[in-house]
Structure 1
Amino acid sequence: MTRVQQKAKTRNGILEASIKLFKIHGIEHTKIAEIAKEANVSVGTFYVHFKSKEDIVSAIYYEGFNHFMNEKIDQIETTGLSLKEILLKVGIFELQFVENVGLEITTAAFIANLRINFEIPGNHFKNRTFSEKIQSLIVNDVESSEQNSQILFEEFETIVRGIMLTWCFKNATMSIVDFGAPILKKYIL
């Protein structure tokens, strides 16, 4: 394994350990030393990869979400589905990721990512590589014209983010997939 691969593996291990512990103990009550122990790294190694727990939350939502969604989108791009069916699948995949990381991490990610985007305008979409794949799916669709593809993308993103925020405001009283899938079907199909 190359140094770059080892570094990525270590970073991913820290992210996975963080998700696990945040879901058990909460972000505030999870100590960095506990994350390092769960990830089988030293505290110093933790700080090589992350500055803080807020940094981890952002990484979960940028790196983890990108990895998850890029894999899922690659699996459906060639299935011959209509654009609406593809967007429905993509939206449900996004909700599945949110369900996996849970309410507290999702809420904290919204806060952290809004703060960063306020300080560095445009940061959010720059760090979300899977958004480019969604935009490409829309642009490449025969029914989409160049004029409305950006609007369609923004509408899709607004629906999905709205579902996520509403689920957070409802304190995850039900599965986000069960809550969000009917909304996606109603407004996308």
Structure 2
Amino acid sequence: MNSLTSRQLKALETREKLLKTSLELFNKHGYEYVSVEQITKACNVSKGTFYTHFPSKYDVILEKFKELDSFYSTVEKNIDRTLPASEKILLLYREQMKYLTNVVGKDLLRTMYTAAMTNQVEQDHYLISPQRKIFQIMNSYIEEGIELGEFRQDLKVTQMQTIIRRCMRANVYDWLIHNEDFDLATEMAQFTTIVLDGLKVK
């Protein structure tokens, strides 16, 4: 593989600086109150440079979500394939909640959620796109659970996925508005276990 040129290295450094500065400003002032002009001024670059790296300021937020999706791929590889589907889902969520708590943190996640809510959400919006890795993994576990008789068959995979996905969003939202005594991983496990029990064959 050819090494990067000095120009390419400079471009990567600029992109990283724009990403880091944008997130810091979003966290400090609120996503909706930060303009591209403020970001570029803080980085001492032109608006054109910003748009070379990010089509919009919202794409800065999406970059962080894509990092999360890369993390999910790693988690999937480490989950025991012989476990029941419900256990796999719980393990996936447990690792996700630990990552959100220890790596992403409340401030950044609050900024990401705020940005998602203030952006014009369309049907193919990235956060709800079925192409996201987390949803693909979840679908495979649900399909497996139905096929092996663990989950009920009167609901579609997409319906089950919606229910299970809302477990995550509800718990993350609660975590964001509670004090530090709210343990995200523990609350997620308890809540999701109850929901999954309702989806199992009795």
Q: Does the pair score TM above 0.5?
A: yes
Overall identity of the aligned pairs, in %: 16
- The whole-number CA distance in structure 2 between the counterparts of 1:174 and 1:161 is 15
Matches within 5 A, 1:56-135: 56-61=60-65, 63-76=66-79, 78-99=80-101, 100-116=103-119, 118=121, 120-123=122-125, 124-126=128-130, 128-135=132-139
- Alpha-carbon spacing, 1:121–1:181, altered in 2? closer, same or farther (3 Å): same
Report the residue type matching 1:131 in the other structure: F
TM-score, normalised with respect to structure 2? 0.66
Q: 1:81 is paired with a residue of what secondary structure?
A: coil
- The whole-number CA distance in structure 1 between the counterparts of 2:41 and 2:78 is 35
If asked which structure has higher relative contact order (CA below 8 Å, sep 6+), I would say 1
- The whole-number CA distance in structure 1 between the counterparts of 2:105 and 2:92 is 18
Q: 1:79 is paired with a residue of what secondary structure?
A: coil
Report the residue type matching 1:152 in the other structure: M
Q: Offset at 1:160?
A: 0.9
Report the equivalent of 2:185.
Answer: 177
Q: Offset at 1:91?
A: 1.3
Tell me the C-alpha RMSD between the 2 structures: 3.8
- Alpha-carbon spacing, 1:181–1:163, altered in 2? closer, same or farther (3 Å): same
- The whole-number CA distance in structure 2 between the counterparts of 1:130 and 1:171 is 27
Structure 1 unaligned segments of length 5 or more: list them: none
Report the residue type matching 2:141 in the other structure: L
Q: Find the structure with the greater CA-based Rg.
A: 2
Matches within 5 A, 1:161-172: 161-170=169-178
- The whole-number CA distance in structure 1 between the counterparts of 2:120 and 2:77 is 27
Report the equivalent of 1:28.
Answer: 29
- Alpha-carbon spacing, 1:21–1:108, altered in 2? closer, same or farther (3 Å): closer
Query: Is 1:14–1:35's contact at 8 Å kept on the other side of the alignment?
Result: no
Report the equivalent of 2:200.
Answer: none
- The whole-number CA distance in structure 2 between the counterparts of 1:183 and 1:147 is 20
Report the equivalent of 2:144.
Answer: 140
Q: Offset at 1:27?
A: 4.3
Report the equivalent of 1:188.
Answer: 196
- The whole-number CA distance in structure 2 between the counterparts of 1:33 and 1:106 is 23
Q: Normalized per residue, which structure has more helix?
A: 1
Report the equivalent of 2:168.
Answer: 160
Q: Offset at 1:70?
A: 1.8
Number of residue pairs matched by the alignment: 177
Q: Offset at 1:104?
A: 2.2
- Alpha-carbon spacing, 1:175–1:147, altered in 2? closer, same or farther (3 Å): closer
TM-score, normalised with respect to structure 1? 0.70
